[in-house]
A and B are shown apart, each in its own frame.
Chain A
Amino acid sequence: MESEPLLSVRELRIAFDGVEAVRGVSFDVRPREVLAVVGESGAGKSLTARALLGMLPRSATTSGTIRPDLSAHRGRRISLVPQDALSALSPVHPVGDQLAAAVRSVAGVSRKEARARAVAALERVGIPDAARRARAYPHEYSGGMRQRAVIAMATINEPDVVVADEPTTALDEERRDQVLRLLAEQREAVGAALVLVTHDMDVVGGHADRVLVMYAGRLTELGAADEVLARPRTPYTAGLLASLPRNALPGRRLPALRGTPPAPGALPPGCAFAPRCPLAADACRTAEPEPREVEGRLLACHRAEELPHPAHALFLKERQTA
Chain B
Amino acid sequence: MTDDLLLDVRDLVVRYGPVTAVDGVSFSLAAGETLALNGPSGCGKSSTALAVLQLRRPAAGHVRFEGRELTTLSERELRPLRPRLQPVFQDPYGTLSPRHRIRDAIAEPLKVQGRWHPADGPARVAELLDRVGLDPAYGDRRPHELSGGQCQRAGIARALASGPRLLVLDEPVSSLDPSVRAGVLNLLAGLQDDLGLGYLFICHDRAVVRHFADRVVEMREGRVTSG
Chain A interface (Cβ < 8 Å from any Cβ of B): 40-41, 171-175, 199-202, 239-240, 243-246, 248, 252-258, 260, 319-322
Contact = CB atoms under 8 A, between A and B. Distances in A.
B147 A243 contact: no
A40 B133 contact: no
Given A200-B178, A239-B179, A256 B186 contact: yes
Interface in B171-218: 177-187, 189, 193, 204-208, 210-212
Contacts of B185: 245, 254
B211 A320 contact: no
B177 A258 contact: no
Given A173-B205, A175-B41, A243 B181 contact: yes
A257 B180 CA distance: 7
A253 B187 CA distance: 9
B98 interface: no
Nearest to B146: A260
Given A171-B41, A245-B185, A257-B183, 4 more contacts: A173-B40, A245-B212, A253-B189, A254-B211
Nearest to B135: A321
A172 B186 contact: no
Interface string B148-190: 1110000000000000000000000000011111111111010
B134 interface: yes
B20 to A, nearest CB: 19
A260 B208 CA distance: 21
Contact of A320 (B133, B135, B210): B133
B182 A256 contact: yes
7 nearest CB pairs, A to B: A243-B182, A256-B182, A245-B211, A320-B183, A246-B207, A254-B182, A172-B204
A158 B212 CA distance: 44
Contacts of A257: 179-180, 182-183
Interface in B69-100: none
A11 B181 CA distance: 32
B183 A173 contact: no
A260 B41 contact: no
Contacts of A253: 186, 189
B154 to A, nearest CB: 12
B210 to A, nearest CB: 7
Interface residues on B, range: 20 to 34
A248 B211 contact: yes
B186 A254 contact: yes
B187 A243 contact: no
A322 B149 contact: yes
B177 A202 contact: no
Given A243-B181, A320-B186, A322-B183, A172 B150 contact: no
Contacts of B41: 171-172, 175
A202 B180 contact: no
B206 A256 contact: no
Contacts of B178: 199-202, 240, 243-244
18 contacts: A41-B177, A171-B41, A172-B40, A172-B204, A175-B40, A175-B41, A199-B177, A202-B207, A243-B181, A244-B207, A252-B193, A254-B182, A256-B186, A257-B183, A260-B147, A260-B150, A321-B134, A322-B147
Contacts of A319: 133
Contacts of B181: 243
A248 B213 CA distance: 14
Contact of A321 (B40, B133, B208): B133
A146 to B, nearest CB: 14
Most buried by B among A175, A243, A246, A322: A322
Contacts of B149: 260, 322
B180 A322 contact: yes
A41 B149 CA distance: 11
Contacts of B184: 322
B179 to A, nearest CB: 4
Nearest to A320: B183
A124 B46 CA distance: 34
Given A253-B186, A320-B133, A173 B206 contact: yes
A144 B179 CA distance: 28
A313 to B, nearest CB: 14
A61 B157 CA distance: 41
Contacts of A239: 179
Nearest to B43: A172
Most buried by B among A245, A246, A248, A258: A245
A255 B178 CA distance: 11
Interface in B48-78: none
B186 A322 contact: no
Contacts of A41: 147-148, 177
